[in-house]
Structure 1
Amino acid sequence: MDKRDRSRLFRERLTAAMASRGISKSALARATQADRSTVSLILSSDDGRLPNAQFAAEAAFALGVSCDWLLGLTDRRERGADMLEAAMRIEEAARAPSDESMYRWHEEARGYKIRHVPATLPDMLKSEDVLRFEYGDFLGRTSDQAIADMRQRLAYLQAPDTDYEIAMPIDSLEAFAAGEGYWRGLPAAERRAQLERMRRLSEELYPSLRLYLFDRKKVFSAPVTIFGPLQAAVYVGRFYMAFRERRQVQELTRHFDGLVREADFEAKHTPRFIEGLAVPD
């Protein structure tokens, strides 16, 4: 960019930022520790001169914008720290089938396709017995409240505008059927009832709900939910890492779509696979 053009752009952006923040020339002079006459000259001069680095940095800080934006080096006016905070933040995750953050994000994304990799089984497809076994009474919420949350989420899946994809590892279902690891201690009758519930719902709700099964030895995924183009949330235990920057959401969407491409069972065949799982006593 020509020096005169960059100087003009700096004046225009400095003027716009001052107007946006309601800051006068005098206030800006105090904030930057510059003379008012210096500020007036910078805002009015058309000789192609640029302010020194000290003034540009102090002005950007006072106005809450990026110094690079003032100088025409980027079209993003947010400061670097603000851009990072907007792009990725950490939110507390309640150990519950449907915490407030997850519910809010689902509501914001109504009408968009939602992609989901669950931490265990999909909460909205769990039976009441499995919810009681897994969650018990936690964080001041009773298992009955957890069940109410599950029913609410199931109603979400049954809405006419729902487009919901779930991808989960095959071995998670096999371990559940066998009552191994995480599910040790859950009675066989309750495991059978849960698998029948998943089979029935994945069949009844198809194609609005599509449940894919992938081989974790071929591909891997952390628990993640992608809310259309709006945002994605990676579950890490006590927290969600929530991403809103478009490129980050696109990359996580591509990751999920890769799980679907690598799935050993397409969604329409998943109910048959679940039906064939053996549940030992």
Structure 2
Amino acid sequence: MDKRYRADIFRKRLEEAMLRKGVTKSALSRETKVDRSTIGQLLKDDHPRLPNAQLAADVADALGVSTDWLLGLTNRPETPGDIVAAALFLSPAERTSADEQLLEWHREAAGYKVRHVPATLPDILKTKSMLEWEYDSVQERRLPEAYNAMRDQLEWLSSGVSDYEIALPIHEIESCAAGTAYYKGVDESIRREQLNFIADQCDQMFPRLRIFLFDAHRVFSSPVTVFGPNLAVVYIGQCYLAFREIERVKSLSSHFDWLVREATVDARNVPIYIRSLMKQ
């Protein structure tokens, strides 16, 4: 970049940062320990000039912006630490699907496609009986909130505000049908009702709701949800790992695309497959 052009960018961004922060030339000169005339020269538009490295760093620190932004090397004014904090953060995760943070992310994604890999069967498609069985072992039972949240999310999905794609390991459906692994001890009537409900919702809401079954022996995924183009969340137990940096969100969207391509049961055939398991 030409030196004069960079100096002009520096001057404009310095003015912008001072205005946003409400800092005068005198205040900035005191913060950076230079003469007021030095700050004045940096702000002159007829003879733009660049500061030395020390002054550039001091000015950036005083105004809470990055030196790279002042010099036109990036379009993000935040400091590197603030950029990382905004792009990647941890959020506490409650056991219940009524988690307010989770509901807020769904509202934020209105109008965008939501893509979800659940930890068990998808909460949005769980019956009240299945939720009762799950929450029976939770010390602080929040079944009413969880059931109401699930019902609200299902109504939200039925309204057509957003499309919902779910990639689910096929062993979750098979274990539920057989009453093994996670679903060991669940009464057969509860499991049958649950699988019937999923199959019926897939029939009624296709293509708004699409479930793809993949073989976890061949492909793997942690629980993850992509809320449109601007947010992706990985569930790691007691907290969510949330990404807002566009490239990371794209990477997790590509991961979901891979799960769909590798699916052993396509969305159109999921209801048929579930009902065939129940017959067996």
**TM-score, normalised on structure 1?**
0.93
- CA 1:51–1:162 in 2, change beyond 3 Å: closer, same or farther? closer
- Identify if the C-alpha distance between structure 1 residues 6 and 161 changes in structure 2 by more than 3 Å, giving closer, same or farther: closer
User: Please, which runs of 5 or more residues in structure 2 have no aligned partner?
Assistant: none
User: Which residue is 2:20 aligned to?
Assistant: 20
Q: Which amino acid aligns with 1:181?
A: A
Q: Report the counterpart of residue 123 of structure 1 in structure 2.
A: 123
What do residues 77-106 of structure 1 show as CA deviations (whole Å, max 9, x unaligned)?
221111111111111111112311111111
Distance 1:21 1:3 in 2: 26
The aligned length equals: 280
Task: List runs of 5+ in structure 1 lacking aligned partners.
Answer: none
Q: Kindly indicate whether the alpha-carbon contact (under 8 Å) linking 1:162 and 1:209 is maintained by their aligned counterparts in 2.
A: no
How far off its partner does 1:38 sit?
2.0
Q: Which residue of 2 aligns with 1:202?
A: 202
Letter in 2 for 1:151: R
**Letter of the structure 2 residue corresponding to residue 43 of structure 1:** L
Q: Which letter maps to 2:65?
A: V
Distance 1:103 1:225, change over 3 A: same
- In 2: Cα distance, 1:211 partner to 1:93 partner: 24
Distance (whole Å) between structure 2 residues aligned to residue 5 and residue 97 of structure 1: 53
Structure 2 counterpart of 1:68, which letter? D
| Residue aligned with 1:83, SS | helix
Q: Which amino acid aligns with 1:247?
A: E
Does the 8 A contact of 2:229 with 2:246 survive in 1? yes
Is the partner of 1:58 in helix, strand or coil? helix
Aligned-pair distance for 1:7? Answer: 2.1
Matched, 1:85 2:85: yes
Give the Cα separation in 2 of the matches to 1:66 and 1:80.
7
Superposed counterparts of 1:124-143, under 5 Å: 124-136=124-136, 138=138, 140-143=140-143
- Measured after TM superposition, the shift of residue 142 of structure 1 is 2.6
| Identity among equivalent pairs (%) | 49
- The answer to whether residue 249 in structure 2 is matched with residue 249 in structure 1 is yes
User: Are residues 1:267 and 2:259 paired?
Assistant: no
CA distance in 2: counterparts of 1:98 and 1:45, whole angstroms? 56
Corresponding residue for residue 277 of structure 1:
277
Task: Give the corresponding residue for 2:9.
Answer: 9
CA–CA distance in 2 between the matches of 1:263 and 1:128? 28
Q: Would you say the 8 A contact 1:136–1:142 is kept in 2?
A: no
Give, in whole Å, the separation in 2 of the partners of 1:10 and 1:106: 40
Structure 2 CA distance for aligned equivalents of residues 178 and 60 of structure 1: 62
Q: Is the 8 A contact 1:192 1:279 kept in 2?
A: no
CA distance in 1, matches of 2:239, 2:201: 29
Are residues 1:30 and 2:30 paired?
yes
Deviation at 1:18, TM superposition (A): 0.7
2:42/2:48 contact within 8 Å kept: no
Q: Distance in 2 between matches of 1:163 and 1:48?
A: 52
* Native 8 Å contact 1:202 1:209 kept in 2: yes
CA deviation after TM superposition for structure 1 residue 218, in Å: 1.7
Alignment match, 2:113: 113
Counterpart AA for 1:237: G
1:276 is paired with a residue whose SS is helix
Matched residue SS, 1:213: strand
Q: What CA distance in whole angstroms lies between the structure 1 residues aligned with 2:53 and 2:190?
A: 69
Which one-letter code corresponds to 1:119 in the other structure? A
1:18/1:63 contact within 8 Å kept: yes
- 1:210 is paired with a residue whose SS is strand
Aligned to 1:41: 41
Question: Does the CA contact (< 8 Å) of 1:214 and 1:264 recur in 2?
Answer: yes
Deviations 1:109-142 (A, max 9, x none): 1121111111100111111111111123757553
Q: Which moved more, 1:240-249 or 1:136-145?
A: 136-145
Partner secondary structure for residue 90 of structure 2: strand
Q: Pick closer, same or farther for the CA change 1:33–1:129 going to 2, 3 Å.
A: same
CA contact (8 A) 1:32 1:55 kept: yes
Please give the secondary structure, in 2, of the residue aligned with 1:156: helix
Q: Distance between the aligned counterparts of 1:240 and 1:33, measured in 2?
A: 44
TM-score of the superposed pair, with normalisation by structure 2: 0.93
CA distance in 2, matches of 1:145, 1:7: 57
